[in-house]
Structure 1
Amino acid sequence: MGTVAPFPGKPLQIGFDRLELTRILDLYGRMVAAGLWRDYAIDFDRDAASFAAFRRTAERPEYRIEKRPALRNRQGMWALIGEGGAVLKRGAELGPVLAPLERRLMKLVDE
């Protein structure tokens, strides 16, 4: 295969691949069905790509899932960031970073 050259003058940006975005949107759909989230926003930047989930449209995001490839060899490129901006979980893989959010969907079932 040949090499892919960026367009001249156009800044490079970080994005989610199909499997990552599918995993994030699957979690988002389950949170919407549970009535916890109502809106989302996706931001692609030169340094990071982020997915923000909102309880209501007109407020700060409840959680942000951020991908920063520059931190891949240090702290891990994935981060779960809370409403106040604190990093709640960081890791090299997406699954363990999303685990605290997926735990919110679990419910105790009586026998």
Structure 2
Amino acid sequence: MRQVPTPFPLSQRIPEETAFDRRELAAILSLYGRMVAAGEWRDYAISHLREVAVFSIFRRTAENPIYRVEKRPRLRQKQGMYAVIGPEGQVLRRGHDLPMVLRVLERRLIRSVD
């Protein structure tokens, strides 16, 4: 007699990829648009992988990203699933609320006027 394997329950399924939703992308692209208008940023790339979604920000197209905004759902219950990563890989800010995490980049837009 042949034994049929038991399928995994739907609630424990591992997603094929992690992605930003519309609200998250709106917050990121709003900041990105302001920084492009200020002449600070020039290009971006979006990667949707199994465990992380990454929005990479470039000053010039041919360079390494100057910042990365990451979404890691597995860290939701721990440190927060959103993080801003600097050019050398240092975590600049991590948290549960994306707009609060993005504020670390908004401070770079505010300059003193002479």
Fold shared, TM-score > 0.5 on shorter chain: yes
**Unmatched 5+ stretches in structure 2:** 1-9
After superposition, where does 1:22-37 map in structure 2 within 5 Å?
A: 22-37=26-41
Question: By how many angstroms is 1:34 displaced?
Answer: 0.4
**Unmatched 5+ stretches in structure 1:** 6-10
Aligned pairs, how many? 101
Task: Tell me how far apart the structure 2 counterparts of residues 61 and 74 of structure 1 sit (CA, whole Å).
Answer: 26
Task: Tell me how far apart the structure 1 counterparts of residues 92 and 21 of structure 2 sit (CA, whole Å).
Answer: 23
- Quote the residue 1:100 is aligned against: 104
After superposition, where does 1:10-25 map in structure 2 within 5 Å?
A: 12-25=16-29
- Residue in structure 2 matching 1:47, options 45, 48, 51: 51
Identity among equivalent pairs (%): 61
Question: By how many angstroms is 1:109 displaced?
Answer: 4.9
TM-score (norm 1): 0.86
- Quote the residue 1:68 is aligned against: 72
- Residue in structure 1 matching 2:85, options 56, 81, 86: 81
Tell me the C-alpha RMSD between the 2 structures. Answer: 1.4
Question: By how many angstroms is 1:108 displaced?
Answer: 3.4
Task: Tell me how far apart the structure 2 counterparts of residues 12 and 70 of structure 1 sit (CA, whole Å).
Answer: 14
Larger Cα-atom Rg: 2
